[in-house]
Amino acid sequence: MKEKTKRIIREYAESLLIAAVLAMIIRTFIVTPFKIPTGSMEPTLMPGDKIFVSRFIYRFNRPQRGDVVVFRYPEDPRRDFIKRLVAFGGETVEIAAGKLKIDGRLIDQPEIFQQIFYENQGAYGAPGAKITVPPNHYFVLGDNSASSRDSRYWGFVPQKLMLGKAFVIWWPPGRIGRIK
């Protein structure tokens, strides 16, 4: 009886160890859960929403304008931020009359850019400011422009700080769905 008990305990311990290692690998390299702490991305993401972020997608595909991205905050890389990707290295960003211009052209795709009134705020979002994004960096903005601390205030996100793309809300049940 003693041998049988030892064998059962060992089997459970091995199974738990394998499960823990697989969970760490999945969370580190494939999909990571995040909780939205503030209203800076309203109405797309609400405080308390829980989302999944694809950690591997940008290893195979380039980020796209309009992606909702998670990155390490440039001023404190221990913190993670979530914003919408607006411009790439080499592009010039301007906020004029509540709309975004990239290289002098009004940006209306994806459609979310037509729905948001962008406030002229911060050192990089002042009225009339035309900001050129450095190579290998991104310019990101919150969807709730009036109350978002984003690239308008602290500048650009280095490519190396990009963690992944937010793709689904999984909590609360009434908000489950793909992030657009």
The catalytic site residues sit at 40, 83
Q: What's the start-to-end Cα distance of the chain, in Å? A: 58
Per-residue DSSP letters for 57-123?
Answer: HHHHS---TT-EEEEE-TT-TTSEEEEEEEEETT-EEEEETTEEEETTEE---STHHHH------ST
Cα separation, 148 vs 144, whole angstroms:
6
